[in-house]
Amino acid sequence: MKIILLKDVPKVGRKDEIVEASDGYARNFLIPNKLAKSATPDALKDHQKIIANKNIASSVSSEEFLKNLQKISEKQIIIEVTANEKGSLFKGVSAEMISKELKKHGFDIKKDEIVLDAPIKKTGDYELPISRGEFSGSVKITIKGAGDKK
């Protein structure tokens, strides 16, 4: 049975894919749990329209992301957090904190677009990669301890 996936389903496919699934699995699990819908001719036409609209929105979003990357690379973002005299932070700076700080500066960068293996735990200057799909860049941030005059 051909189905259109409404959500990512492990070992079946990703959202918006048209896949073949066994009749029982589709009728008894995927469709009742709203993970998929039957691929009728009308549903396929609607699906194609939705995909076309997503592609247009994605290209606009990509252009905006590229402009943001260019502006971000020119700026130095300063994040102040509490730290001891040796420069060790009491709480690590996460991708989410960096994303919120970027939003304060007018950049719409999501936390999952910031490549950070582990939270930053020391004061100092960092250059972090940012990527969305095939586009990538970097952001320069300075982590300062509250009260530092650096």
CATH topology for the 64-145 domain: Ribosomal Protein L9; domain 2 (3.10.430)
Has residue 57 got a pLDDT over 70? no
State how far the alpha carbon of 50 is from the alpha carbons of 16, 44, 56, 110, 132, in Å. 9, 10, 10, 24, 21
How high is the pLDDT of residue 134? Answer: 76
Reported as a pLDDT band with limits 50, 70 and 90, residue 100 is very high
Reported as a pLDDT band with limits 50, 70 and 90, residue 22 is very high
How high is the pLDDT of residue 63? Answer: 77
Has residue 114 got a pLDDT over 80? yes
How high is the pLDDT of residue 19? Answer: 94
Tens digit of each residue's pLDDT (9 = 90 or more) over 29-47: 999 999 999 999 999 999 9
Which of these, 141, 143, 78, 63, lies nearest to 108 by C-alpha position? 63
Reported as a pLDDT band with limits 50, 70 and 90, residue 59 is low
Point out which residues pair with 141 in neighbouring strands.
77, 126
Domain 2-61's class? alpha beta
